[in-house]
Amino acid sequence: MDYLPRSLLDRPLRRLGRAALLDRLHAMRALADVRGMRYLDDAGRARAIEIALKPWVLTNEQLVVFHHVARTLADALLALARLHARAPAVREIVRVEPERERWLRLASHPTARPLAVVGRLDSTAIYDHASWRADFRMLEPNTVGVGGVHYAPTACSIVMDVLGDVLAKALPGRAITATPDPRQLLMEELRAVAKRIGRPLRGVALIENTDYTTGTDEFQALARSLRTRGLTAVVADPRDLRLARGQLMAGSTPVDLLYRDSELEEFVEMEASGRRLSALRQAVREGRLISGLAWEFDQKSAWEIFTDERYARHFTVSQRRLFRAHLLWTRLVRDAKVADSTGRLMDLAPFIRRNQERLVLKPNAMFGGEGVVIGPTVSRREWERTLHRALHGRERYVVQQLARIPTDVFPMLRDGHVRHTERCVVSGFFFNSFGVGLVGRFSGLPVVNVSRGGGLIPALWVH
């Protein structure tokens, strides 16, 4: 069998009984607090990120299949970057403003060749049923500043500590480990980039905009992890980078490479406010930024290019097969005729008005589930208001086919008691230039995100 059925874990968890489940849920929460699994809300208050007591357990074949999926989509995103340079129609759908375009020209310098990436691709994939290979849909790309690089492996370590005996009884004689660690994917990418540009790898700066003091809080823990792997690692604001006699410095620390949480738009805003980013610009020219600027084309509207047959000739047979089977029909919202899911041209705005019950509206470049409006869950008035904003406001939106978000039932701690609670679940596939990892997320809301109160599902691997 190429998958492990849901009952394999459901039965042993039920046999534990409520008292034992309660003890283990308390242990999960305590370890989450100790190991830095926290999220800072808008008021700066920290909350522990909830971790599912029931993990996902993937087989070798499932890891191989989704490694292929992630690589195929990553290669398509790179092809999109090249297509963007020569196709005006593509530039209208995946738009880059002139200020960002000037930065992208830095990345076309011959010494900036390494196409470095640590990204995440979000999906409806789940793994405990026979149709796992056919049923999943890819939701959207995220190749810059991905969340979960520290949280995902930490959640795995916690569930192994708390539930290891149950897993061993459920799968006797089988080796069970975490799925590939995204911190190791980052380390491998750092080494590969340093080798390609012919530099030693001694120090790295994790750069983030320190004006933002809320949200996920991973970079300090990630820096500590890199230091255990033998690197000098510091967290720095892009505005704190400087050049000293040709050496890239983060404050007083010499560094060789940069790993970024910030998007290009933030660099543009910093310069517009009068700050010089000459050291960062030099690092971009020299190919020392991870993820590189070539990955700034990860807008949600990229799915329009992939799901419109007019652009099919620009992609490989394998990529087109994946697009047709597993990508959601997506279009940039505008007053125009576009191809529907069968390839027939139709007026987009009236189509969106008529089909609220099977569509979703999303801001094109925002993250964390911000601004997502799911047609069947809102009033007609709110749908029309969002569509008007999408057509006439400054923020660009996409409309997307409504995905079937899977659900599962988890034992959860509520008011000091165990409650078996149904939650929506999604997958996030981490990837670098040659590997893939996984994180699961769950939520009581159909927009599944840690920033909206969701938690994490540890993803394990049975060998």
Q: Which of 147, 116, 125, 128 is nearest to 65 (CA)?
A: 125
Let me know: does 295 contact 77? Beta carbons within 8 Å.
yes
What is the spatial distance between Cα 183 and Cα 152, in angstroms, rounded to a whole number? 9
pLDDT at 323: 97
The answer on pLDDT for 412 being more than 80 is yes
Mean pLDDT across the chain: 92
pLDDT at 358: 96
Average of pLDDT values for 316-342?
96
- Domain segments of the chain as ranges: 67-122+184-297, 331-401
What is the spatial distance between Cα 461 and Cα 463, in angstroms, rounded to a whole number? 6
DSSP one-letter string for 278-310: HHHHHHHHTT-EES-GGGGG--TTHHHHHH-GG
Q: What is the pTM of this model?
A: 0.92
Which residues are registered as beta bridge partners of 235? 206
Average of pLDDT values for 85-111?
87
Return the ∠ at Cα 275 (arms to 269 and 278), rounded to 5°: 100
Which has the higher per-residue pLDDT, 289 or 246? 289
**Which range (137-141, 143-147, 273-277, 288-292) has the least confidence?**
143-147
The answer on pLDDT for 87 being more than 80 is yes
Q: What percent of the chain has pLDDT over 90?
A: 79
pLDDT at 186: 95
Average of pLDDT values for 55-82?
94
Residue 199, exposed/middle/buried by CB under 10 A (0-12, 13-18, 19+)? middle
* pLDDT confidence band for 214 (50 / 70 / 90): low
The answer on pLDDT for 291 being more than 80 is yes
pLDDT digits (tens, 9 = 90+) for 135-184: 999 999 998 888 899 999 999 999 999 999 999 999 999 999 999 999 99
**Which range (280-289, 361-370, 399-408) has the least confidence?**
361-370
| Side-chain-side CA neighbours of residue 196 (13 Å) | 19
Question: Which residues are CB-neighbours of 420 under 8 A, at least 6 positions away?
Answer: 409, 410, 411, 412
Let me know: does 257 contact 194? Beta carbons within 8 Å.
yes
Does the structural domain 331-401 have CATH classification 2.30.30?
A: no
pLDDT at 232: 97
pLDDT at 59: 96
- Reduced to 3 states, what is the DSSP secondary structure of residue 99? helix
* pLDDT confidence band for 109 (50 / 70 / 90): low
Average of pLDDT values for 403-418?
93
Phi, psi of 382 (to 5 degrees): -65, -40
Let me know: does 446 contact 74? Beta carbons within 8 Å.
no
pLDDT at 439: 92
What is the spatial distance between Cα 373 and Cα 389, in angstroms, rounded to a whole number? 12
pLDDT digits (tens, 9 = 90+) for 262-271: 999 999 999 9
